[in-house]
Amino acid sequence: MNEQKIRLLMITFILIGVTLILTGIYLIAFTDTAITEGTTGIFKIAGLIAGGLFLSVPAKIYLTLQLMKYNDEKVRIANMLAEKNAKKNEN
C-alpha cells in the first residue's frame, strides 16, 4: 500500500470511530437504553464508545507522525536551500 491509500484508510478509521463515539453519547444522553436494559445497555454503550476510541486514537497518532515527518522534510530542504544561497552570496 502506498502512503496515500494508508492515509485515506486512517481518515476512514477516524470517521468511523467518531461516529461510534457520537452514537454512544447519543444513546446515553437522549435515550433510556442504559436504564431499560440495565447493565447490558450500559455495556453496549460503553462498547460503542470504546470501539470508537480504539479506531480513532491510533489513526490520529499515525497521521500526526506522518505530518511531523513531512514537516521535518520541508524544514530540512529549506535549510539546505538557505545554506546553498548563503554560500553563493559569499562568493
Please tell me the least confidently modeled range out of 29-33, 38-42, 81-85: 81-85
The answer to whether 55 and 49 have CB atoms below 8 angstroms apart is no
What is the amino acid identity at position 47?
Answer: G
Give pLDDT tens digits for 48-67.
999 999 999 988 898 898 88
Give pLDDT tens digits for 80-91.
888 888 888 776
Q: According to the model, what pLDDT value does residue 59 have?
A: 87
Q: According to the model, what pLDDT value does residue 48 have?
A: 95
